[in-house]
Structure 1
């Protein structure tokens, strides 16, 4: 099976700031090496989990160390209460057919 490289970040944001947070959250440029990205929100709109797929660990690390990412993080900072993040390697699991 194909190995995948994934960056996951979960942030709890201040109540009532989801719209402003989303504006700051989206990068101005598409990061080199990012293949796909997903965002998931809790029902109360105060917790957001971002999942991005990368072509390599190096591509993800390069983006994380870049000036555009530093600026993006600075823009999000006023809205964030708590943040957890991590890089993972993995693969798709086969689901038995019914």
Structure 2
């Protein structure tokens, strides 16, 4: 099975700011080494979790330390109450067919 390097970030947002947050959240330009990205948000729109898959830890670290990412985080900051992030290695799990 193929292993992945995954960066997971969960942010608690100020009430009613999900739409504004999402406009600032998308990176521009998109990072080199980013394979896939997903966003999941709570029913009340006050928590959003981003899951991104990278070619390597180095590619992710390079993006995290870049000027575009610094600017992106500054643009998101007015909407964020709390932020947690983590780096993980993993693989897709096989789910039995019924």
> How would you bin the TM-score normalised by the shorter chain?
over 0.9
Query: What SS is found at the alignment partner of 1:87?
Result: strand
Instruction: Tell me the number of residue pairs that the alignment of Structure 1 and Structure 2 aligns.
Output: 98
Partner residue of 1:18? Answer: 18
CA RMSD of aligned residues (A): 0.7
Runs of 4+ in 1 over 3 A off after TM superposition: none
Gaps of at least 5 residues in structure 1 are none
Q: Structure 1 residue 39 and structure 2 residue 67: aligned?
A: no
Partner residue of 1:69? Answer: 69
Q: Structure 1 residue 27 and structure 2 residue 27: aligned?
A: yes
Q: How far is 1:97 from its partner?
A: 2.3
> Deviation string for 1:33-55 (max 9, x for gaps)?
00000000100001000000001
Q: How far is 1:77 from its partner?
A: 0.6
Q: Distance in 2 between matches of 1:41 and 1:27?
A: 18
Q: Distance in 1 between matches of 2:28 and 2:94?
A: 36
State which drifts further: 15-24 or 66-75.
Answer: 15-24
Q: Distance in 1 between matches of 2:92 and 2:28?
A: 30
Gaps of at least 5 residues in structure 2 are none
Partner residue of 1:55? Answer: 55
